[in-house]
Amino acid sequence: MAGPVIRNIVIVGGGTAGWMAAAALSKVMGTQRYSITLIESDMIGTVGVGEATIPIIQLFNSVLGIDENEFVRETNATFKLGIEFRDWGRIGHRYLHPFGLMGVDAGGINFSHYWLRWVKAGGDPDNLKFSAEAQAALAGRFMRTPEAKPANLPKINYAFHFDASLYGAYLRRYAEKRGVVRTEGQVTSVAQDPQSGFITSVTLKDGREVRGDFFIDCSGFRGLLIEETLHAGYDDWSRWLPVNRAAAMPCARVEEPVPLTRSTAREAGWQWRIALQNRTGNGYVFCNDFIGEDEAATLLTQRLDGAALADPRILKFVTGQRKASWVKNCLALGLSSGFLEPLESTSIHMVQVGISKLLAMFPKNGVDPLMVARFNREMSQDYASIRDFIIAHYKVTEREDTPFWAYCKNMSVPDSLADRLELFKSRGEVFVENHELFKEVNWFAILYGQGIMPDDYHPMADVVAEDELKLRLSAIRGGIVERVRGMPTHQDFIERNCASATAPA
Ligand SMILES: Cc1cc2nc3c(=O)[nH]c(=O)nc-3n(C[C@H](O)[C@H](O)[C@H](O)COP(=O)(O)OP(=O)(O)OC[C@H]3O[C@@H](n4cnc5c(N)ncnc54)[C@H](O)[C@@H]3O)c2cc1C
């Protein structure tokens, strides 16, 4: 495969993916040895939603050396301790998927097995009492883990809700300061080497040609380079994840921001509510086989808890993944590489994953097919494991009150997921591979949260004497109560550390 030695990198697209790539590459590789050009078109614009993240974004921030308080201030961000699910298991039911640990693992097994033993012996079935993040979120409190924390105290895991457009602008300033060249213009044609098929340049509407050795496709759903030029193909997963539209609109803030993303199941999908410092983001993610776009937009508008700040905007997508995210000298990141719907806030995370794999496998003397194959294999595994986790939310519902939920409850699921669900039902266990984003604690939160009580638990959980178990559980619970009591409210924490200039006082 080979192609030229890479010196000139061209990023096509300046949405979240494009600017994340530009920021990370300029920081890690610099712009002396490599030139980095980003092309974007204000005429086309960005998706502009994508407001909720997961804790691993802190790693991205720390690689960039970003000051977190500045970043929160400039993106109107709030803190996120997990997701609240309403009406997913059944109408009127709610549960949380908090970040971080539940209880304390011991004896080589997950804490959930000890807890299951306790519940089966008549203990309190509220698993959230063993999560500091859940208790803090429910109390509307937040604080970062103090640097001088005792060694045995787990850290508080958190992520952010932010304004996606401000995030892009923030990263743009960061990248341009480090030498990334931004080119405004619309790519209208792509040139390829006639022998190898490698991309050699893109041409803009005004005739300018931008040449490059390596192209990063961040052009969004269309996949201008990876699909329209290189025909990578797309695995359509909508038989398992049927939602294919979102109506999105902001509304005025009506209360202090909660440190949770709220997801409420609706007749043909679900609705997000994300509180930022200055406004609330809302969206109805739905399947147009079950509800029309106009009706979904109207229902979303009626269900806002504050005054609408814009008209609803309809976004269309097909859940799935590009068959190959890296083809020849083109690598796709963000929506051009795949989209699994926003239920668990994993898209920005997958951009981060793609960037870190690219950096780890960056070609030295031209493109190495072994690296390309490895990259594509790893991305596929990551996408597929997140896919299964998201499908599980729909599949284990008890709801059949609308055609959409009846479809979800009765659909067949990938074998990989079917096996997991069976094992969880029989002994409360989920085996995860090292590379998987969602671990046993996350699966437990969702499956138990949604109403599955496993028949049994791991035999090792019986090894601890009953009194000892009781003592351990009440110590964990007590520690969490104390810890949360010592936290300021989420709003207080923001005001003291990172209030944005546009947030209401
Ligand atoms: C409804 C919805 C909700 C979401 N919520 C979340 C969430 O909560 N959390 C999360 O992590 N992710 C979420 N996402 C995903 C997230 O928005 C995207 O992963 C992220 O914004 C990356 O988008 P992108 O940069 O790949 O694409 P885009 O934002 O579409 O950017 C594409 C860029 O390519 C440029 N471009 C396109 N064609 C051309 C051309 N011909 N010439 C020049 N430039 C061109 C555009 O101008 C733009 O700059 C959500 C997505 C949707 C649809």
Q: 257: CA distance to ligand 1 center in Å?
A: 25
What is 8-77+162-238+320-383's CATH topology? Answer: FAD/NAD(P)-binding domain (3.50.50)
Taking the centre of ligand 1 as the mean of its atom positions, its distance from the CA of residue 49, in whole angstroms, is 8
Q: Tell me the Cα Rg of the chain.
A: 23
d(C-alpha 20, C-alpha 269), whole Å: 29
Question: How many CA atoms, within 13 angstroms, populate the side-chain half-sphere of residue 477?
Answer: 14
Ligand 1 atom showing the smallest separation from residue 248 Cα:
1
CA 315 / ligand 1 centre spacing (Å):
11
Query: What is the arrangement of strands in the sheet containing 82-86, beginning at the earlier edge strand?
Result: 94-98, 82-86, 261-266, 269-275, 279-286, 245-252, 313-316
Quick one: which atom of ligand 1 is closest to the CA of 44?
47
From 219, 272, 273, give the residue whose CB has the most ligand 1 atoms within 8 Å, as the site to mutate. 219
Span 20-62, pLDDT tens digits = 999 999 999 999 999 999 999 999 988 888 699 999 999 999 9
332 touches 322 (CB < 8 A)? yes
Q: pLDDT by residue (tens digit) across 241-288?
A: 999 999 999 999 999 999 999 999 999 999 999 999 999 999 999 999
- 164, two tokens: 């996606």
Look up residue 90 and give its two tokens.
Answer: 């059944």
Instruction: Say which of 80, 328, 357, 395 is annotated catalytic.
Output: 80
Tell me how far the alpha carbon of residue 142 lies from the centroid of ligand 1, in angstroms: 30
Residues 6+ apart with CB under 8 A from 273: 261, 262, 264, 280, 281, 282, 305
* Three-class HEC string of 382-410: HHHHHHHHHHHHHHCCCCCCCHHHHHHHH
**Contact by Cβ (8 Å): 446, 97:** yes
Give the integer Cα–Cα distance in Å for 414 and 408. Answer: 13
Helix (H, G, I), strand (E, B) or coil at 247: strand
Distance of CA 283 to the CA centre of its chain: 16
Could you identify the atom of ligand 1 that is nearest to the CA of residue 337? Answer: 26
If you average pLDDT over residues 5-31, what whole number do you get?
96
Q: How far apart are CA 144 and CA 142, in angstroms?
A: 7
Residue nearest to atom 5 of ligand 1 (CA): 50
pLDDT band at residue 133 using 50, 70 and 90 as cut-offs: very high
Are 340 and 386 spatial neighbours (Cβ–Cβ below 8 Å)?
yes
Average pLDDT, the chain: 95
- Please report, to the nearest 10 degrees, the dihedral formed by the alpha carbons of residues 382, 387, 393, 396 taken in order: -110
Our answer to whether residue 205 is catalytic in this structure is no
Is 413 within 8 Å of 442 (Cβ atoms)? no
Indicate which residue's Cα is closest to atom 4 of ligand 1.
Answer: 50
Atom from ligand 1 closest to the CA of residue 42: 47
Relative to the CA of 334, which ligand 1 atom is closest?
Answer: 26
Pocket of ligand 1 (CB under 6 A): 12-18, 39-41, 44-47, 49-53, 164, 186-187, 218-220, 224, 246, 248, 283, 315, 317, 334-336, 342, 345, 347-348
> Is a pLDDT exceeding 90 seen at residue 141?
yes
Residue 385's nearest CA partner among 419, 336, 335 is 419
If you measure from the C-alpha of residue 454 to the centroid of ligand 1, how many angstroms do you get, rounded to a whole number?
Answer: 39
Question: Residue of the nearest CA to atom 33 in ligand 1?
Answer: 13
Supply the pLDDT for residue 315.
97
Ligand 1, atom 17: closest residue by C-alpha:
50
pTM over the 0.85 mark: yes
Residue 420 vs residues 205, 391, 440: alpha-carbon distances, Å:
50, 12, 11
Residue 505 is predicted with a pLDDT of 62
Query: From the CA of 334, how far away is ligand 1's center (Å)?
Result: 7
* Mean pLDDT of all residues in 214-230: 98
Angle CA(370)–CA(386)–CA(438) in degrees, nearest 5?
105
Q: CA 114 to CA 464: how far, in whole Å?
A: 9
Q: For the segment 82-103, what is each residue's pLDDT rounded down to a tens digit?
A: 999 999 999 999 999 999 999 9
pLDDT value at residue 494: 98
Instruction: Express each pLDDT in 476-490 by its tens digit.
Output: 999 999 999 999 999
Nearest to 249 by CA among 318, 297, 316, 317: 297
Contact 95, 393 (CB under 8 A): no
Per DSSP, the three-state class of 217 is: strand
CA 215 to chain centre: 24
Would the pLDDT of 464 be above 90? yes
Q: How far is the CA of 219 from the centre of ligand 1 (A)?
A: 8
Ligand 1 atom 14 nearest Cα: 50
Any idea which residue has 């309809």 for tokens? 314
- pLDDT given for residue 153 in this prediction: 78
Structure-block tokens of residue 436: 């998987």
Give the residue, out of 49, 317, 331, with the most ligand 1 atoms within 8 A of its beta carbon, to mutate for a pocket test: 49
CA-closest residue to ligand 1 atom 20: 16
Which of 489, 456, 352 lies closest to 55, judged by CA? Answer: 352
Residue 254: how many other CB atoms lie within 10 Å:
11
Inter-helix orientation angle 440-449/369-395, to 10°: 20
DSSP, res 431: -
* Burial of 485 (C-beta count, 10 Å sphere; 0-12/13-18/19+): exposed
**Domain ranges (residues) in the chain:** 8-77+162-238+320-383, 102-152+385-485, 245-316
Residue nearest to atom 19 of ligand 1 (CA): 347
Judge whether 308 and 282 are in contact, CB under 8 Å: no
Q: Count the residues in the chain.
A: 505
- List, for residues 350-394, the tens digit of each pLDDT value: 999 999 999 999 998 889 999 999 999 999 999 999 999 999 999
Residue among 20, 60, 288, 335 whose CB has most ligand 1 atoms within 8 A, to mutate = 335
The β-bridge partners of 159 are 80
Angle between helix axes 369-395 and 403-410 (nearest 10 degrees) is 120
Nearest CA to ligand 1 atom 50: 50
**Assigned token pair, 471:** 């003592």
Q: How far is the CA of 217 from the centre of ligand 1 (A)?
A: 11
Nearest to 397 by CA among 409, 388, 389: 409
Cβ distance 312 to 358 under 8 Å?
no
Q: What token pair was written down for 36?
A: 């980095």
Which atom of ligand 1 approaches the CA of 52 most closely?
Answer: 8
Query: Tens digit of pLDDT for each residue in 151-194?
Result: 777 899 999 999 999 999 999 999 999 999 999 999 999 999 99
In this prediction, residue 48 carries a pLDDT of: 80
What spacing in Å lies between the alpha carbon of 432 and ligand 1's midpoint?
30
Nearest to 453, CA basis, from 417, 485, 427: 427
d(CA 362, CA 185): 27
Dist CA 25 CA 18 (whole Å): 11
- CB-based contact 82:157 (threshold 8 Å): no
Residue 1 is predicted with a pLDDT of 63
Atom in ligand 1 nearest the alpha carbon of residue 283: 1
